[in-house]
Structure 1
Amino acid sequence: MSTATDAPPERSMTDAAPRRGRRIAAWVSIGLALLVIGGIGGAMSAAYQWAQRDALDPDSAGPAGTRAIAEILRDHGVEVRVERDRASAAEALGTGRATLVLPDAPALSDDALAELADAATDVVLVEPRARTLDLLLPGSAPAGVAPDEAIDPGCEVEDALRAGAVAPGAVYAGDDGCYPASDGFGLVVGSVDGGRVAAIDARPLFTNEHLAENGNAALAVNLMGRHPLVVWYVPSPADTDLADTNPSLGDLTPPWVSAVIVLLLIAGIAAGVWRGRRFGPLVAERLPVTVRASETTEGRARLYARAGDPLHAADRLRIGALRRIAALLGLAPNDAAPEVADAAAGRTGLDRRAVRGILIDDIPRSDADLVALTTRLRDLEDAVRTAVRPERSPR
């Protein structure tokens, strides 16, 4: 008795260890998956941010950066100062004659752009848009894209003539320009208050990957190196003077909202771990009523009798008999009724037509015929069983 009572606890303890190990392994796998997904997301975000910073950045050695032209200018004795806020750029421009290299700056207002350009002797717009062109080079505007081929200067500007042919990207409409293509010029030059403003698409010309092509490097040095100082302004969304910008969701919510959201997420995860339940084995539920098979059979028989349809009842009896006879003869469950009838006649030696009449053809017209058919079905099934499994004679 003691052995029988001690066996179940031992089995439960041995079964609990693998289940606990699988549960721990599942949580470890979930944690590793979250770490991998977070790492991939962080890497993609960092790559995107680096790609945004890389474009036309004089401190970037990537393909889209412009560090190469900045170093070439320094080798020619030109001081290059990279400024990332407007106040520092204006302060550097106030030290003497200088060239301002100005990419497109959508975060600055028209007044801020004009004030920054007025502090410089020369301005080189390296990626101008329509607003910047209209503000600093009145009468000029974007005019499409040049074909992908080198174009001669076709103008009297000395800087372009010394550089030679280049393959400009975007072209601009204007009164005076070089590298004519389509309906504009790859380089537009204008004189302003003893200085000069030049507009050019720097991405296909002055970036690190394209600087060595055609006369790109010479043109960049000629445009930017006219004065001993180059102030290269790198704009950013944070360096803005626009007061009516649309606030973000973070600006509209109090500072404590982000911390509360993070805390709620952590609390939700902790609650899920604490109260979570895995699906266990199926539990047999005791039904309030148990119906015996004989009662179900009798109830169905009463329904058939009340309906007065002996043929339907005969079909149900024949289906059951055919299934059992087919199993006795080793036939497939889906074999047709004529095949089962022929096999039964062949095994028992009975008349084939008589067996088919019992299993298929005879139609009962009354309850008496149904009772007679039931008896004949039972006798046929017994004959098949006897032929398949003959009783051994007693010793």
Structure 2
Amino acid sequence: MTAVDRTAGADPFAAEIGERRTRARSALGWVLIGVAVVLIGAVVTLLSSDGWREREPLDPEGAGPDGARAIVSILREQGVEVVEADRRGQALAALETPGTTLVITDPWYLSDDTILALADAADDTVVLDPSAETAALLAPGAEHSGFGDGPVEPACALPAAERAGAILPGRGFTAPSGVTGCYPVGDGHALLRSERPSPVTLIDGTELFDNAHLAAEGNAALGLGLIGTHDRVVWFVPSLADADDGEAAPQLGDLVPPWLTPAIVLLLVAGLAAAVWRGRRFGPLVAERLPVTVRGSETLEGRARLYARAADPPHAAALLRDGATERMARRLGLAATASRAEVADAAAVRVGGRAAVIRAILEDSPATDADLAEFGTRLRDLEDAVEAAVRTTSGPSAR
């Protein structure tokens, strides 16, 4: 019996409430997909934006404890133009404007020649995280002298230090001849001022001018006095790209707009959601009214032709065997899950035949179309015999 025959006695479209629930589930699925895409896009955009990416210490836009957004904001409020740079080429180009102070946060990536070239191009240079090598380069003879352990007065005649007063210093360096030292730390000073062709200041800004320490003692006043000496500041945060060649060609990420990456990710997520949506059905199958009524005999004939075209007698025989076994089990009063052996034994008792013969019929596996036709005939004869035996035993009321 076909699917059309089984549903012919019932009208699944009579209850409109079922259709409304189906449409509601479908609409809810689309809404959930849309919300998921929007949420994922928002998260990706936030994570890829400048406000969420990991920043270097003393980054001018860094809002974390080790960032420098606070002092940069104060400088801008006082009318100082702060130009951000993360490549040597950008910094050198920005320093072409006269009256500019250069701030280098961490020169670790830079070569000696690069550091000297930058310092010579600026009207005033402040190195906020100098290493011992950088200190010896810009103030020949300077060496590391320890760390500060409490508030220290300037003890020098540098105007910016005198106005700021006491600070909480970080690393200290010895002050060689010709170099001004302020804020004594161990055998040296926390601030070195070298009057090279242009003034250079060395100070541990990671312990003074980041967001976490700026408000302590006179740290903020000292930072503004050292960095805000001119109306323009180039704040240079060296990157790994400057390690070998500061004029290295821009990478692919430098050539595309910042919104491109989250847009690509959003499209990929949308494509994945569409693939999941089209790859499976949401909810159970819904009965659909066919444009025409197809008789069961036509469906049977069509499926028979498909099996014939497939040229797969064993598969067709398996379908015939399963159907016959199920029908005979039902007529013999067996469970629907009864095995072929159980059906064969029960059928042998009813028809008075040998169980081995009936089992052989059910276990046969034809290899050709002719064998399949003969197999079908034997199955039909066996079913007719079982039907006749059951009818004879039970009487007319059994049907």
Provide TM-score, normalisation by structure 1.
0.51
* Cα deviation, residue 123, structure 1: 1.7
Which letter does structure 2 place at the counterpart of 1:201?
D
Give me the whole-angstrom Cα distance separating, in 2, the residues matched to 1:250 and 1:90: 22
Counterpart of 2:129 in structure 1 is 127
Q: Is the 8 A contact 2:83 2:233 kept in 1?
A: yes
Aligned positions of 1:299-378 closer than 5 A:
none
* Cα deviation, residue 109, structure 1: 4.3
Q: Is the 8 A contact 2:41 2:266 kept in 1?
A: no
Counterpart of 2:45 in structure 1 is 42
Counterpart of 1:64 in structure 2 is 69
Counterpart of 1:136 in structure 2 is 138
Cα deviation code 1:98-136 (max 9, x no counterpart):
543222255654433221111234321123345543543
* Cα deviation, residue 166, structure 1: 0.6
Give me the whole-angstrom Cα distance separating, in 1, the residues matched to 2:266 and 2:43: 21
Counterpart of 2:154 in structure 1 is 153
**Aligned match of 2:183 in 159, 179, 189?**
179
Give me the whole-angstrom Cα distance separating, in 2, the residues matched to 1:37 and 1:66: 35
* Cα deviation, residue 83, structure 1: 5.2
Which letter does structure 2 place at the counterpart of 1:165?
A
Aligned positions of 1:141-290 closer than 5 A:
145-147=147-149, 149-155=150-156, 157=158, 159-168=160-169, 170-175=170-175, 177-181=181-185, 185-193=189-197, 195-207=198-210, 211=214, 213-224=216-227, 228=230, 230-235=232-237, 237=239, 240=242, 242-243=244-245, 269-278=273-282, 280=284, 287=337, 289=340
**Aligned match of 1:25 in 28, 32, 36?**
28
* Cα deviation, residue 88, structure 1: 6.0
In the alignment of these two chains, the number of paired residues is 275
Give me the whole-angstrom Cα distance separating, in 2, the residues matched to 1:26 and 1:127: 55
Give me the whole-angstrom Cα distance separating, in 1, the residues matched to 2:275 and 2:94: 57
Matched, 1:15 2:18: yes
* Cα deviation, residue 250, structure 1: 7.6
* Cα deviation, residue 191, structure 1: 3.5
Percent identity over paired residues: 32
Q: Is the 8 A contact 1:69 1:220 kept in 2?
A: no
Which letter does structure 1 place at the counterpart of 2:24?
G
Aligned residue for 1:9, secondary structure, equals coil
Q: Is the 8 A contact 1:92 1:231 kept in 2?
A: no
Q: Is the 8 A contact 1:80 1:230 kept in 2?
A: yes
Q: Is the 8 A contact 1:174 1:185 kept in 2?
A: yes
Q: Is the 8 A contact 2:164 2:222 kept in 1?
A: yes
Aligned residue for 1:52, secondary structure, equals coil
Give me the whole-angstrom Cα distance separating, in 1, the residues matched to 2:250 and 2:118: 26
Q: Is the 8 A contact 1:58 1:66 kept in 2?
A: no
Cα deviation code 1:225-276 (max 9, x no counterpart):
55x554323336498484498998989xxxxxx9999988766544432231
Aligned residue for 1:118, secondary structure, equals helix
Aligned residue for 2:205, secondary structure, equals coil
Cα deviation code 1:155-177 (max 9, x no counterpart):
56554344321112x31333353
Aligned residue for 1:112, secondary structure, equals helix
C-alpha distance 20-133 of structure 1, shift in aligned 2 (>3 A): farther
Counterpart of 1:82 in structure 2 is 83
C-alpha distance 33-95 of structure 1, shift in aligned 2 (>3 A): closer
Q: Is the 8 A contact 2:102 2:126 kept in 1?
A: yes
Unpaired stretches in structure 1, ≥5 consecutive residues? 252-257, 296-395
C-alpha distance 151-14 of structure 1, shift in aligned 2 (>3 A): same
Aligned residue for 2:237, secondary structure, equals coil
* Cα deviation, residue 199, structure 1: 1.3
Give me the whole-angstrom Cα distance separating, in 1, the residues matched to 2:174 and 2:282: 73
Q: Is the 8 A contact 1:56 1:203 kept in 2?
A: no
**Aligned match of 2:117 in 115, 118, 121?**
115
Q: Is the 8 A contact 1:55 1:65 kept in 2?
A: no
Counterpart of 2:377 in structure 1 is none
Q: Is the 8 A contact 1:100 1:231 kept in 2?
A: yes
Q: Is the 8 A contact 1:100 1:123 kept in 2?
A: yes
Which letter does structure 2 place at the counterpart of 1:103?
T
Q: Is the 8 A contact 2:13 2:19 kept in 1?
A: no
* Cα deviation, residue 208, structure 1: 6.5
Aligned residue for 1:100, secondary structure, equals strand
Give me the whole-angstrom Cα distance separating, in 1, the residues matched to 2:166 and 2:128: 18
Give me the whole-angstrom Cα distance separating, in 1, the residues matched to 2:61 and 2:272: 47
C-alpha distance 30-184 of structure 1, shift in aligned 2 (>3 A): farther
Aligned residue for 1:8, secondary structure, equals coil
Counterpart of 1:311 in structure 2 is none
Q: Which has the higher contact order (CA 8 A, sep 6+)?
A: 2
Aligned residue for 1:101, secondary structure, equals strand
Give me the whole-angstrom Cα distance separating, in 1, the residues matched to 2:191 and 2:136: 15
RMSD over equivalenced CA pairs, Å: 5.0
Give me the whole-angstrom Cα distance separating, in 2, the residues matched to 1:247 and 1:80: 26
C-alpha distance 27-92 of structure 1, shift in aligned 2 (>3 A): closer
Aligned residue for 2:11, secondary structure, equals helix
